[in-house]
Structure 1
Amino acid sequence: MSDDQRLIDQALGGDAAAFGLLVHKYQQRLFNTLVHLAGCREEAEDLMQDAFVQAFVKLDSFRGQSSFYTWLYRIAFNLTISLRRKRRLENSHEHAPIVPANEPLDDRQDASEHLELREQADQVHMALGALAEDRRDILILRDIEGFSYEQIAEILDLPIGTVRSRIHRARLDMRNQLTGIWQENSAD
């Protein structure tokens, strides 16, 4: 029995602290992903809290066919989709910008290296933000979160072949976006 399953069983038995340990274990990882998906830290925090509340309420429906994090991520992903639908209705198809997470500065890097890395990160975030939502989501799942093709298929409820082709197309789109950004910057 995995540590997560033991904590789930304890939580189902009334031990709220056990669920708190699951929250502590996964909150930072889920938050980082939701920042990319939602486009801002405040919405990511709200989505994360809602996801954990729903996970707690629906904990008895967790069947263990996937990891707890995959199940939790699916809840958070569905909440993100609902938020996007609501946002689309309110803002008539405006896309939220991608807000890069603040990363700690490595003391070993000098200022110019840090500036160059920051510019590259900003360009990647800009290119990612310019992708269609479904392509951005699948790249985040695979390349940022590191989910397997099988896990992505489960989360998005898609056949594995569809996942593979969407990732391929999303990477091509990302390459085209970055090429355009780099050509624009070199012309300046």
Structure 2
Amino acid sequence: MSQILSFFGMKEKEQSFEALIHPHMSNLFKVAYQYTGTKHDAEDLLQDLLEFLLTKENELRKVEKLKPWLMRCLYNRFVDLYRKKQRQPNLEDIDDDKVQPLFRYFDNHQQDEQNKEIYTAMNKLSQDQRALVALHDIDGYTLPELSEIMDVPLGTLKSSLHRARKTLKQHITLQPYELNVRHY
């Protein structure tokens, strides 16, 4: 983070900006990784977000609920970058998930198959549904929090979550007792 801040030459504001953002960095990276699927893309998304936040530092200080506001900003940056990438389909990234799938890093064959099935099913969802499932079912955000983060009415979120889960059920054959869950 300090490397990014020093790049922008913000020595005087470094302490105050970092103090605001630092408590949320690991969670922001985790969510960015869930959105993008690769470490490289998550780092790019997070860097883009930090660059944006530096320009909005005064507004950042006025926000009462910083975590949902940051998640909303991250989501908006993800959607913007996703749409930009969709408009440039001929450009191939070396870290594209077709080249380096997320599930290839696991050693256990059974875990590989489970992760592959979940990863494939998640890719069947739209970007909004994937974000909603990741934030609600994986990260544990409540629907009212997500309504604020995503700026979508609560009823719309409920129906979208229901449709996303229905789609996942159609594409995932795993049963809960079959999952090899790791507890850290």
Query: What are the residue-to-residue correspondences of 1:149-188 with 2, within 5 Å?
Result: 149-179=143-173
Aligned residues: 157
Q: Partners of 2:56 and 2:164 in 1: how far apart?
A: 33
Q: Which residue of 1 aligns with 2:140?
A: 146
Partner residue of 1:7?
A: none
Aligned to 2:15: 17
The answer to whether the Cα contact below 8 Å between 1:127 and 1:177 also exists between their aligned partners in 2 is yes
Aligned residue identity for 2:130: R
Cα 1:16–1:101 change in 2 (3 A) is: farther
Please point out which of 99, 102, 106 is paired with 1:100: 102
Q: CA, structure 1 residues 15+101, in 2 after alignment: closer, same or farther (shift >3 Å)?
A: farther
Unaligned stretches of 5+ in structure 2?
Answer: 1-11, 176-184
TM alignment of 1:29-178, pairs within 5 A: 29-62=27-60, 63-66=62-65, 68-91=66-89, 97=97, 99-100=101-102, 114-178=108-172
Q: Give per-residue Cα distances to partners, 1:151-177, cap 9 Å, x unaligned.
A: 111122111111111111111111111
The answer to whether the 8 Å contact 2:32/2:42 transfers is: yes
User: Which AA in structure 2 matches 1:146?
Assistant: G
Report the Cα distance in structure 2 between the residues aligned to 1:131 and 1:178, rounded to whole angstroms: 12
Equivalent pair of 1:149/1:163 in contact (CA under 8 Å) = yes
Tell whether the 8 Å contact from 1:36 to 1:100 is kept in structure 2 after alignment: no
What stretches of structure 1 of length at least 5 have no aligned partner?
Answer: 1-13, 106-110, 183-188
The answer (yes or no) to whether the contact 2:103–2:115 under 8 Å persists in 1 is no
Distance 1:166 1:97, change over 3 A: farther
- Tell me how far 1:28 sits from its aligned partner: 2.1
Give the % identical residues: 27
Q: CA deviation at 1:40?
A: 2.3
Question: What is the root-mean-square deviation in Å for CA atoms of aligned residues?
Answer: 2.9
Q: Deviations over 1:9-42 (max 9, x none)?
A: xxxxx65223224443222221121122123221
Q: CA deviation at 1:102?
A: 8.8
Report if aligned partners of 1:34, 1:47 keep a CA contact under 8 Å in 2: yes
Question: For residues 15 and 91 of structure 1, do their structure 2 counterparts lie closer, same or farther at Cα, with a shift above 3 Å needed?
Answer: closer
How far apart, in 1, do the equivalents of 2:21 and 2:104 lie?
22
1:52·1:72 contact (CA, 8 Å) conserved in 2? no
Q: 2:172 corresponds to which letter in structure 1?
A: L
Q: Please report the TM-score for the alignment, with normalisation by the length of structure 2.
A: 0.72
- Give 1:161's aligned amino acid: G
Counterpart of 2:24 in structure 1 is: 26
Please state how far the C-alpha of 1:61 moved relative to its aligned partner: 1.6
- Write 1 or 2 for the structure with the bigger share of helix: 1
